[in-house]
Amino acid sequence: MLVGMEQRDQMRAADADRETVVERLRTALNEGRLELHEFDERVAEAYRSKTYADLDRLLTDLPGVAPVSRSQLAPTPPVSPMPPPVPPAQPGTVPRWLVALWGTWAAAVGINVVIWLLVSLSTSDLVYFWPMWVAGPWGAVLLFATIGGLSRGEPQRWADKQVRRQERRRRDRY
């Protein structure tokens, strides 16, 4: 027995039907056919839908899914198994990155050592050198971060980020 279109429209949709519509909406979002707010609204509506007609209404202005061979989307370039080479750092980038990375550590350790010295001098007896518990663990973490960052080209990425930040500030100022 075949179900007519009108009868189908009145039939209640299942969770799997709603998930299929949400997946089609996600594909339309990825293809650029829907904006994010439209996608959010339609997904919410899909989960509230009770009948097939409610679900069909969410897809009426979207084309059917085309096979990859007939798709109008540009194919993605093949992914290279090798990571891209680390670009050489500009002169002065590494020292500036190191100062940015280690500067806070140096300031915090310096403040702790000064406090330790003041306490030691006020008691006229050297107190246990507790600043090592600030300097040691934090310094060890920074040492590993420095070695790893240098091997991955982090100073250049940091410098590029600084340039973008300055350009954004300059743009926002005017």
Same domain, 112 and 165: yes
Closest CA to 46 of 20, 65, 11: 20
| pLDDT computed for residue 87 by the predictor | 56
Same domain, 56 and 103: no
* Number of domains the chain contains: 2
Q: Is residue 74 part of a domain?
A: no
Residue range(s) defining the domain that contains residue 27: 8-69
Q: Is residue 84 part of a domain?
A: no
Helices in the chain by DSSP H: which ranges?
A: 5-10, 15-31, 36-48, 52-57, 93-122, 132-152, 154-173
Q: Is residue 82 part of a domain?
A: no
Residues 6 or more apart whose CB falls under 8 angstroms from that of 50 comprise 12, 13
| pLDDT computed for residue 123 by the predictor | 82
| pLDDT computed for residue 1 by the predictor | 45
Same domain, 64 and 101: no
Q: Is residue 75 part of a domain?
A: no
Task: Give the three-class secondary structure for 51.
Answer: strand
Same domain, 167 and 100: yes
Same domain, 105 and 158: yes
Whether this model's pTM surpasses 0.85: no
Same domain, 104 and 143: yes
Mean pLDDT, contiguous 10-residue spans, the chain (174 residues): 68 89 90 89 91 88 66 61 60 88 94 91 81 94 93 88 88 80
Same domain, 65 and 120: no
Same domain, 120 and 168: yes
Q: Is residue 77 part of a domain?
A: no
Distance (Å, whole) CA 44 – CA 46: 5
Same domain, 51 and 106: no
Distance (Å, whole) CA 164 – CA 14: 49
Closest CA to 99 of 169, 170, 162: 162
Same domain, 149 and 109: yes
Structure tokens at 163: 């340039």
Same domain, 63 and 134: no
Q: Is residue 50 part of a domain?
A: yes
Q: Is residue 64 part of a domain?
A: yes
Same domain, 104 and 157: yes
Distances (CA, A) of 108 to 132, 139, 156: 11, 11, 26
| pLDDT computed for residue 131 by the predictor | 93
